[in-house]
């Protein structure tokens, strides 16, 4: 009798877990993609400071990021390109507003830096860690990402140009959370 009760309880818990599995898995995939982007941006900033070289950042297509070290002399290491896993891409999901102040740089397009759709043609971390454009002007911006058709997977990363600080956010259904 005790075994039957234990099996019944386990079956109920397993059934509840399977019902929520369809909502949980896309969020894990979105978190993984956000972590990839976050790590690459923070790594690019740290590399710029440590190597005393500017590191260029390019948001390519709908789900890729290319990082290139800029060398004036010698042979620079090859550029590295990262593609997001799990179907995540740069996207503005319907019904999801801009980030809260003071990091609300705009959300009319998924990649928005320096008041420009897609950002300036050249964006890079300087040797001081600041995020600048090709004319050495400080650039603030936000990257929005998620899995199309799933608003709960909305994620955002903001870059504060003066310090190069990179912050992550996730949408909880009613507001952005850090």
Residue-averaged pLDDT of the chain: 87
- Mean pLDDT (whole number) for 15-28: 71
Domain holding 106, by residue range, is: 2-177
Name the pLDDT band for 22 (thresholds 50, 70, 90).
Answer: low
- Mean pLDDT (whole number) for 30-49: 93
Backbone angles phi, psi at 85, to 5 degrees: -95, 165
Q: What is the 3-state secondary structure (H, E, C) of the chain?
A: CHHHHHHHHHHHHHHHHHHHHHHHHHHHHHHHHHHHHHHHHHHHHHHHHHHCCEEEEEEECCCEEEEEEECCCCCCCCCEEEECCCCCEECCCCCCCCCCCCCCCCCCCCEEECCEECCCCCEEECCCCCEEECCCCECCEEEEEEECCEEEEEEEEEEECCCCEEEEEEECCCCEEC
For residue 57, pLDDT beyond 90: yes
Residue 4 has what pLDDT?
81
Tally of domains within the chain: 1
Structure tokens at 8: 């019944």
Name the pLDDT band for 40 (thresholds 50, 70, 90).
Answer: very high
For residue 28, pLDDT beyond 80: yes
Name the pLDDT band for 68 (thresholds 50, 70, 90).
Answer: very high
- Mean pLDDT (whole number) for 128-148: 92
Contact assessment for residue 37 and residue 143, using Cβ atoms and an 8 Å cutoff:
yes
Specify the range with the lowest mean pLDDT, choosing from 7-11, 38-42, 79-83, 133-137: 7-11
For residue 103, pLDDT beyond 80: no
Question: Residue 58: which CATH number?
Answer: 3.55.40.10
Question: pLDDT digits over 119-132, tens only?
Answer: 899 999 999 999 99
């Amino acid at each position: 009798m005790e075994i039957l009760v234990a099996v019944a309880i386990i079956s109920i818990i397993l059934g509840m877990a399977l019902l929520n599995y369809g909502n949980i898995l896309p969020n894990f995939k979105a978190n993984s993609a956000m972590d990839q982007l976050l790590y690459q941006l923070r790594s690019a900033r740290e590399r710029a400071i440590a190597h005393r070289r500017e590191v260029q950042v390019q948001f390519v297509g709908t789900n890729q990021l290319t990082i290139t070290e800029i060398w004036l002399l010698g042979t620079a290491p090859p550029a590295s390109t990262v593609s997001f896993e799990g179907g995540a891409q740069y996207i503005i999901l319907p019904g999801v507003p801009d980030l809260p102040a003071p990091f609300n740089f705009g959300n009319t397009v998924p990649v928005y830096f320096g008041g420009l759709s897609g950002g300036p043609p050249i964006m890079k971390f300087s040797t001081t860690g600041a995020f600048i454009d090709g004319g050495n002007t400080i650039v603030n911006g936000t990257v929005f990402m998620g899995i199309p058709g799933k608003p709960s997977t909305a994620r955002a990363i903001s870059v504060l140009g003066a310090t190069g600080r990179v912050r992550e956010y996730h949408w909880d259904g009613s507001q952005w959370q850090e």
